[in-house]
Amino acid sequence: MIIYGTALLAACHLIGVYLGDLLGVAIGAKANVGGVGIAMLLLIFARLYMRKKNLMPKATEAGAAYWGAMYIPVVVAMAAQQNVVAALKGGPVALLGALGAFAACACFISLINRMESPESIAAARKLLAEQTQDR
C-alpha cells in the first residue's frame, strides 16, 4: 500500500524537532520541548496552505490526512515514555514549558478551526463521501 504525503510529514517532523530543540535550549531545559507538537501544527498549516493553492493532489491530501490522524497516538506514546516526576523535580522550567506548549496548541487549534470556511468543510465532506463510496 502506498501512503502519499510522507515527504511532507518528514519535512514537518524534522523542522518541528529542530524548533523543539531550539526552544529547549532557549528555556534551559536541555531537551526537545514540543517538537512533535510543533511538527503537527506545521503539517496542519502546510496541508491548509497547499489545499488553498491547489498544490496537493487528492492522493497526497488523503495520505497527509492519514499521517495527521496517526500523529495523535504517536504523541500519546511519546508522552507515556517521558519521566514526568523527574522533570518536575528538575524545576519549574519543565512545568512552565509544558503549560506554555499546551496554551499555544490550544490557541492554534482554536485559530485553525475559525479559519475553516463552510465551503472547505462541505468540500471535505464531499471528498470523504466519494472515498467511502469507492470502497
- pTM equals 0.56
Is the pLDDT at 81 greater than 80, yes or no?
no
CA atoms within 13 A on the CB side of 19: 16
CA distance 49 to 19: 20
Assess if residue 75 is contained within a domain: yes
Residue 122 C-alpha cell reads as 462541505
**Domain range for residue 26?**
6-134
Assess if residue 1 is contained within a domain: no
Assess if residue 118 is contained within a domain: yes
Q: How confident is the model over 16-53, as pLDDT tens digits?
A: 989 999 998 898 888 888 888 888 889 888 888 888 88
Assess if residue 64 is contained within a domain: yes
CA atoms within 13 A on the CB side of 102: 7
CA atoms within 13 A on the CB side of 131: 12
Assess if residue 106 is contained within a domain: yes
Residue 33 C-alpha cell reads as 520541548
Assess if residue 71 is contained within a domain: yes
Domain count of the fold of the chain: 1
CA distance 56 to 48: 10
**What pLDDT sits at residue 135?**
61
CA distance 5 to 89: 40
